[in-house]
Structure formats: C-alpha cells, structure tokens
C-alpha cells in the first residue's frame, strides 16, 4: 500500500515521500516554485541559465565529477525550467539515495558559477535557442504566448534571447537565486523504495544552509490576457496553426471542467476534432486540443499542422467544432474523458518519477497531496450543462489568440475565421512576420 508522508522542517523546507515497496529504485528531486515568470524585465532567460549552471561545478565538485559520481552508481540526474517552476531531479537505486541527496544539495547550495563555465554554457544555450527557432511547432507556441500575454514575463520564451543570455553575469545569477531559491518555496520529494524518516534526516542535514527568506522581494506580476494575432510566413512544407482563448487557473472552479472539455474536443483519436478534421475530412495529419493552467490564468487552445492548401477548409471546420461544443455534448463523451483522465492518473502512479513530479506539483499548487478519490470526485461533478456553459464563455466571451507559421498565403483573416464562432466582427492585435 502506497503512503504519502509530509514533514515541514524547522527551516521551512517541505519534505514529502511516497513509499512504493515493490520497487528497488527512488526518484527524488527538488522543486522550486519559481520559473521564467519570476524574472525581472532585464532577466529574460536567467532562470533557465541558472538551471544549466547548477551542474557546472560547485565548491566540492567539478562539472565532470557531478556527472561521473551519479553515473558511477547507474543513476541519472537532470533539471527543467518552466514558466512557474524549476526542478532538479535524480533517479537512483535505493542504496544510493544519500549520494543523490548530497549531489542535489551541492548544486543548489554550493554552485561556484565559474566565469569560464558560464561563458561556455551561454554558447550552449545560444545553440538551444537556434534549434528551437528551427522547430516550427515550438515557435508557434512561443509566438502564441507572446501574443496572448503581450509585453509580460508570463508570455516570454523560457530560453530568453541571444542578447539577454549573453549579457548575464555570475552576480546576476546569484541575485536571482537569492530572491527565489528559499525554503518557503522549495519542496524535496521522493517516490519509490524510500523510507520517510531516513530521507528527512538526510535532507535536513544537507540542505541546512538554504536561505529561509529572499534577499529581495520575489517578482510576480499579475497576468493580463490580451489575445491577438501573430503570423509568420516561412517556406515550409506544413503550416502550424494555434487558435486559443483564455483558460482557467489551477484554483478556478472550471479548471477540471476545462480539462474535460479539451479532452472531448481533441484529447485522442475518438475526440471530435480528430474524427471530423483528420478521419472524416483528411485535412491535417495532427490536430488536438489542450488546456494549460497557471497560478492566475490559463490557456485553452487547438493546435493543427497541415499543408497550406488545406487552410481555407480547415479553419472553418475547427471553429465549427468549437461552436457546436457550446450547444451539445453527450454524456458518453464525458464518461470517456473521465475514464481517460483516470487512466492517465493511475498509470502515471506506476512510475516513481512521474509520481514524484505529480506530488511536487500538488504541493506547490495546493499545499498538500491530493488523494485520487478527491480528484475523481471533482471530475464526477461535471455535467453536460456545465460543459456547454463553459464552452460558450470560453469561445464567445474571450478575445481569441491566433498564432501561425509556415505557408500562410491561404489563411483567412482573423475576422473571417472567427465570425462564424462569435457572430460578430473580432478586432485583434496583429503581428506579422
């Protein structure tokens, strides 16, 4: 029987474990409630740069020693930066948990930010930015966020720009670190063959030097969804199209309702968009709907990839499916979406890494682990009436955002695309490339 245990240390650091007795390994990590959104105007990309630099040497280990020590025991270590969180995590056999804790603590409390390593890592990130810019299905999402949240940190690409990345100094990285990596917003989580009390002792000993309060006030501006339009014509085989609206924040009443609606519209091969757009009409090779929640806003979107010649027919069909969802949804569709979400939830819990990440997200968002029964209870209260009402408000009452890249000569103007949905002319802020 799996059991989640939680301890808040005197330092303010929160430690959570879930024992999975049938396993021989442990997935563990440190999650910080801070990401690219917590940067100042002049820090664009510094959260991601810090994540890279954490592995480039400490007062006790070189970059090579960090890699070799964890791999000498067959383990692995990595990190990730998102809009609102950053994570550093490892996977090891149960006997090597103390080593993994020691390495994670070392990189988070003793990083040296060597100038030569910083210079090299900046150039690595420049290549990463270049690779992302060469990937149209990444670019279309970046442009979408920039347009939906115009001139705000929540809408900026996480990687930063070549100019900002090259400008950062070690002192600037330390300032961001001191402002955001404090015990009140950090969670150490482990799942697998882990014993809670022993893990707590190891964490308490190795993370004792973490600051409890920030050096300066953390940055987090309120998100203001603006909507708008971004088109970038490129000589590509396919057009990447993203049409979206303001969604719901994690704590909003309609958050789980939005997840169900996204699943019904474009969550799998049986979804409305897949069946109508791809299977019935053959208008694209990829189409899906999604809903992303943030702490104070969200995004509900539909992404499609297709040849430019299909755009005149594709967009009206997508818009029509959105419109129809505000008028009619079948109970069978709700049950199917609930079953898919439940299966994803339970299947994820068979992986210690997925489970550790899930617990960490729940701690950051809700302050406690959420039992499966509670999650399913929230989903069980979703009715046809709630879904059609939500669809009407999402698609009729909020300004749309359109992001497109590729051969766009046949992509209709924004007003034409959405007139059938809203029944009125839509005025959109346009950015063309």
Active site residues: 51
**Sign of the CA dihedral 227, 229, 234, 237?**
positive
CA angle 336, 365, 376 (to 5 degrees): 25
Q: Under a CB-based contact definition with an 8 Å cutoff, are residues 395 and 326 in contact?
A: yes
Q: What is the DSSP letter of 58?
A: B
Q: Under a CB-based contact definition with an 8 Å cutoff, are residues 185 and 32 in contact?
A: yes
The β-bridge partners of 14 are 8, 187
Q: In what order do the strands lie in the sheet with 430-432?
A: 286-293, 298-306, 239-246, 401-406, 228-233, 430-432
Q: Which two tokens stand for residue 201?
A: 């002792």
| Other beta carbons within 10 Å of 27 | 25
Q: Under a CB-based contact definition with an 8 Å cutoff, are residues 192 and 92 in contact?
A: no
Q: Under a CB-based contact definition with an 8 Å cutoff, are residues 6 and 199 in contact?
A: no
Give helix 311-325 / helix 414-422 axis angle, nearest 10°.
30
Dist CA 256 CA 343 (whole Å):
15
């Amino acid at each position: 029987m799996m059991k989640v245990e939680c301890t808040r240390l005197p330092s303010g650091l929160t430690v959570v474990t879930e024992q999975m007795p049938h396993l021989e390994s442990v997935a563990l990590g440190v999650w910080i409630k801070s990401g690219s959104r917590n940067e100042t105007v002049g820090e664009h990309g510094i959260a991601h740069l810090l994540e890279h630099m954490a592995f480039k040497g400490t007062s006790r280990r070189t970059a090579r020693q960090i890699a070799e020590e964890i791999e000498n025991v067959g383990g692995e270590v990595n990190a990730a930066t998102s809009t609102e969180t950053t994570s550093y995590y490892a996977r090891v056999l149960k006997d090597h948990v103390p080593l993994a804790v020691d390495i994670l603590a070392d990189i988070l409390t003793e990083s040296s930010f060597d100038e030569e390593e910083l210079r090299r890592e900046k150039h690595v990130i420049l290549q990463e930015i270049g690779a992302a810019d060469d990937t149209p299905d990444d670019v279309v999402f970046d442009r979408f966020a920039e347009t939906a949240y115009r001139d705000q940190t929540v809408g900026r690409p996480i990687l930063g720009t070549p100019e900002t990345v090259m400008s950062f100094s070690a002192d600037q990285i330390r300032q961001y670190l001191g402002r955001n990596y404090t015990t009140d917003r950090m969670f150490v989580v482990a799942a697998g063959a882990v014993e809670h009390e022993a893990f707590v002792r190891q964490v308490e000993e190795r993370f004792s030097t973490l600051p409890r309060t920030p050096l300066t006030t953390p940055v987090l501006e309120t998100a203001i969804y603006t909507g708008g339009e971004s088109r970038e014509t490129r000589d590509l085989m396919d057009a990447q199209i993203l049409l979206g609206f303001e969604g719901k924040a994690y704590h909003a009443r309609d958050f789980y309702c939005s997840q169900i609606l996204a699943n019904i519209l474009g969550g799998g091969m049986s979804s409305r968009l897949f069946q109508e757009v791809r299977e019935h009409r053959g208008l694209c090779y990829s189409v899906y709907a999604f809903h992303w929640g943030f702490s104070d806003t969200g995004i509900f979107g539909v992404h499609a990839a297709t040849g430019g010649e299909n755009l005149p027919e594709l967009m009206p069909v997508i818009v029509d499916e959105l419109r129809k969802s505000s008028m009619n949804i079948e109970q069978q569709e709700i049950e199917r979406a609930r079953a898919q979400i439940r299966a994803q939830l339970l299947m994820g819990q068979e992986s210690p890494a997925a489970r550790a990440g899930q617990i960490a997200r729940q701690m950051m968002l809700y302050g406690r682990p959420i039992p499966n029964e509670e999650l399913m209870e929230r989903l069980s209260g979703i009715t046809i009436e709630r879904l059609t009402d939500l669809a009407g408000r999402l698609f009729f009452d909020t300004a749309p955002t359109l992001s497109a890249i590729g051969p766009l000569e046949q992509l209709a103007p924004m007003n034409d695309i959405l007139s059938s949905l809203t029944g009125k002319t839509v005025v959109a802020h346009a950015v063309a490339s």
